[in-house]
Amino acid sequence: MNFTSPSFICFLVFVLIFYYLFPQRVKLFFLFAVNCLFYLGFGANFTLLLIAITAITFAFSLFIRRLADAACGKYITAAIVAITISPLLFFKYFDFFSQQTFNLLSIFGLTLNVATLNLMVPVGISFYTFRVLSYLFDVGSGKIPAEKNFLKYALYVTYFPQIVCGPIERASDFIKQANKTIKFDSNNLSSGTKLVIFGFFKKLVIADPLAIYVDNVYSSASSQSGLNLTLAAVFFSIQLYCDFSGYTDIATGVSKTLGFNTAENFRRPYFSQNIKEFWARWHISLSTWLRDYIYIPLGGNRCSKMRKYFNIMATFTISGLWHGANWTYIVWGAMHGFFLVVHDMFFPKNKDLKNGKSIALVRIFNVLFTFAAVTAAWIVFRADSFSRALEIFSGIVSRFSLSYSSLSGAVLPFTGDNTSVSHFLTAAFFICVLLADSITREIGVPSRLKKFDWLYYSFLLACVFCFGRFGGTNFIYAQF
């Protein structure tokens, strides 16, 4: 069930009405049933797998702390982690590793009939597997006690606003809120509704229309001008942000209406002045997960410089592989690891910038440079193969021109005809609206303007109905 579909809105209204009619104990049972019903829309087999993983890891969690202290505790813990992650590895990576094995053997002149299963990947399996793993790691290390109430643990794993694209919530934060009595709060309903509207605006008014341009350019990259390829790269950066953060806004807004506060996942990442800051603002729940459960256990920065750089590269390569079974994702992750290593080598300490016009220009340059580096990496991320990514980079360098013909042809990939100009200008206008909103939030919204929130969100809602591309693409991160 897509968040932007009318059926989801009807589903949410139904859930909210009955959710607040029930007492607390029944409320939690009802929410768990809603979670299962929501996920059932993606397939009964996937739902059974989700419930099975939930039940098995709940049982593991009751003993993992005791087993971790045993003589062979490390091996037992590793076995539990392997069992937990095996469905993700099987469904998402079996075909990829089979194909790579075949390719490797071919280099040495060996042939082997390698099986490919062409399995459909369960929706959200990367996200809920990481949620479960974080819980098992935290219980195993003694950071949090094991939850003995299966219902509350199951709510955490199957929570429907976050099951498809996150954020990767920590169990300690979620279960703590589930232990409290949840009552209807008009402020939560108001603030949650505003976030949902903002998420709809990002997805339907900006991300999905930009997807038309990006898809058309990437599908015919060899015949596109360098300017078109550059615009497509920039537009994809904006599309991906609006698509993913739009989902997060909707998920956070829905959670607020249900009485849950969720982890922040985006903090205006394209205002970052360096790549390290970018990862402190982009997909925060994933970056902190990777830091806590991969980077720090590898040794973090409490080791030699070379080992530290290895830890960074390993962490971000794994991050790329987490996104998908394709070399483009792996290279994308390695690129960000390389960017961070270079940043650490030449800028080991972030010096505080002082106020002043010259410093403001430096900040603007840093932001633009970081955005350019991130966008370059997004080209690899978006391309269906590494050779296609190289083709796009080559086209940008060799065919870039600001001639009249290039400028006049830059808008055509929206629809392929002269009506593209209106689509182009409309997209540009709403990108400016989003930029103005982001700048305002970055510097702080004056308190006197907050009383006009209702007017601003009414405008955004009107834009959704008038310009939203309903029935467009699914959320990009739903495939991960």
In this structure, the answer to whether residues 304 and 450 fall within a common structural domain is yes
Q: Residue 144: what are its φ and ψ, rounded to 5°?
A: -135, 150
Q: Using one digit for the tens of pLDDT, what is the confidence trace for 21-49?
A: 998 889 999 999 999 999 999 999 999 99
Q: Residue 2's closest CA among 173, 247, 244, 265?
A: 247
- C-alpha distances (whole Å) from 165 to each of 102, 107, 124, 176, 325 are 32, 38, 6, 22, 17
- 182, 208, 226: which is the final residue of a domain? 182
Measured at the CA of 406, the angle between CA 402 and CA 408, to 5 degrees, comes to: 115
Domain count across the chain? 2
In this structure, the answer to whether residues 305 and 447 fall within a common structural domain is yes
In this structure, the answer to whether residues 262 and 288 fall within a common structural domain is yes
Residue 163 lies in a domain: yes
Residue 226 lies in a domain: yes
Residue 112 lies in a domain: yes
> Token pair of 45, please?
């087999």
Q: Residue 380: what are its φ and ψ, rounded to 5°?
A: -65, -40
* Enclosing H/E stretch for 131: helix 125-140
Q: How far apart are the C-alpha atoms of 429 and 338, rounded to whole Å?
A: 35
In this structure, the answer to whether residues 150 and 271 fall within a common structural domain is no
CB 423 within 8 Å of CB 209: yes
Q: Residue 324: what are its φ and ψ, rounded to 5°?
A: 175, 160
| Eight-class DSSP state of 259 | T
pTM equals 0.93
In this structure, the answer to whether residues 219 and 285 fall within a common structural domain is yes
One-letter amino acid identity for 366? N
Enzyme catalytic residues: 323
174: domain range?
21-182
In this structure, the answer to whether residues 178 and 192 fall within a common structural domain is no
In this structure, the answer to whether residues 209 and 134 fall within a common structural domain is no
Q: State the first-to-last Cα distance of the chain, in angstroms, to the nearest integer.
A: 16
In this structure, the answer to whether residues 239 and 341 fall within a common structural domain is yes
The residue whose two tokens read 């109430």 is 149
Residue 176 lies in a domain: yes
- 120, 150, 182: which is the final residue of a domain? 182
pLDDT tens across the length of the chain (480 residues) = 789 888 899 999 999 999 999 988 899 999 999 999 999 999 999 999 999 999 999 999 998 887 766 767 678 888 889 999 999 999 999 989 888 888 888 777 777 777 778 889 999 999 999 999 999 999 988 899 999 999 999 999 999 999 999 999 999 999 999 998 889 999 999 999 999 999 999 999 999 999 999 999 999 898 899 999 999 999 999 999 999 999 999 999 999 999 999 989 999 999 999 999 999 999 999 999 999 999 999 999 999 999 999 999 999 999 999 999 999 999 999 999 999 999 999 887 655 444 445 578 888 999 999 999 999 999 999 999 999 999 999 999 998 888 777 777 777 788 665 566 777 888 889 999 999 888 888 887 776 667 778 899 999 999 999 998 887 678 999 888
In this structure, the answer to whether residues 158 and 216 fall within a common structural domain is no
Q: Residue 311's closest CA among 347, 344, 351?
A: 344
Other Cβ atoms within 10 Å of 74 Cβ, number: 11
In this structure, the answer to whether residues 171 and 48 fall within a common structural domain is yes
In this structure, the answer to whether residues 197 and 244 fall within a common structural domain is yes
